[in-house]
Amino acid sequence: MSAIFDNASSVTQGNKLSLMSASTLSGRRISQRRGPFLYTFEVVINPLSTDSTAYKNIRSEIASMDYGVNALVTTIPYLTKENGSWNTGVEDPIVDGANQTGRSVILGNFAPLQTDVIIDGDFLQFSNNTKVYQAIGNCDSDADGNVTVYLNSPLVVSPVDGTTVVYGENVEFSLAIDEANFNTNFMPRSIDTNVARIDTFILTEIIT
C-alpha cells in the first residue's frame, strides 16, 4: 500500500479508454478500441501537518516517482478484495493453455463443478505484464476444474501457460501521476507548525 493511498480521505476510481468512432451517411455509428481499458484514480488528501509522518511519507513517495517519471507500484486492498470464493481446493489458480488472446482466459486448478468461484468485478493479474483486469460476469468451474473468465479489457499479451494467477487484494497497479507538478499550499498556524494542503492526485494505470 502506498503512502498516497494510505492517507487518502477519498479515492475515485475511473477509467480511460481510447476509441475510434465514425458515423455513416445513414447515421450508423461505428466504434473501435484503440487500446486497452486503463484505470484512473483521483486521490484526495486532507491537510496535513508538515511535521507529520504521513506528510513526510507522501513527499518521499513522490520523490521516488521522480515527479512522474517512474511508476508507483501499489496494492489497493480495500478496492480489490475478491467477492468470489476462488475455490481452488489444494493449489493456486493457474493459466490453463498457451496462446490465449482476446477478452477471455481459461484458468485451472479449481475444485470441479463449483458455482461463483469468480464474481463479476473480481480483479486478476498475470505474471508476464502489469495490466490489471476485472472479471465480467460470474464464473463456475467445469468438471475438470477449469474456469473461463471474461475480461473487461482484451489481453495485452498472452499469459504464460501454467503460471500462477494473482487475484483480489494481491494485484498490484503500476500508476503514473498525470501531473508532474505538485503544488502545496501552506497554512501557517504558528512559528513551529505548518499545515500543508496537498493538491488532488490524478493517477493512471500504465502497462510495463
Domain range spanning residue 31? 3-75+173-205
**Weakly modelled stretches of the chain, pLDDT under 70:** 18-25, 29-35, 88-90, 179-183, 189-192
pLDDT digits (tens, 9 = 90+) for 127-186: 999 999 999 999 999 999 999 999 999 999 999 999 999 999 999 999 998 765 566 777
* Domain shared by 140 and 181, yes or no: no
The predicted pLDDT at position 162 comes to 95
* Domain shared by 109 and 152, yes or no: yes
pTM of the model: 0.86
Residue 49, all three cell numbers: 501537518
Which of helix, strand or coil describes residue 170? helix
* Domain shared by 91 and 116, yes or no: yes
* Domain shared by 35 and 94, yes or no: no
The predicted pLDDT at position 63 comes to 86
Total domains in the chain come to 2
The predicted pLDDT at position 30 comes to 65
* Domain shared by 84 and 102, yes or no: yes
Q: What is the CATH number of the domain that holds 153?
A: 2.40.30.290
* Domain shared by 22 and 57, yes or no: yes
* Domain shared by 12 and 51, yes or no: yes
Query: What's the CA gap between 173 and 141, in Å, rounded?
Result: 27
Query: What's the CA gap between 1 and 62, in Å, rounded?
Result: 14
* Domain shared by 110 and 159, yes or no: yes
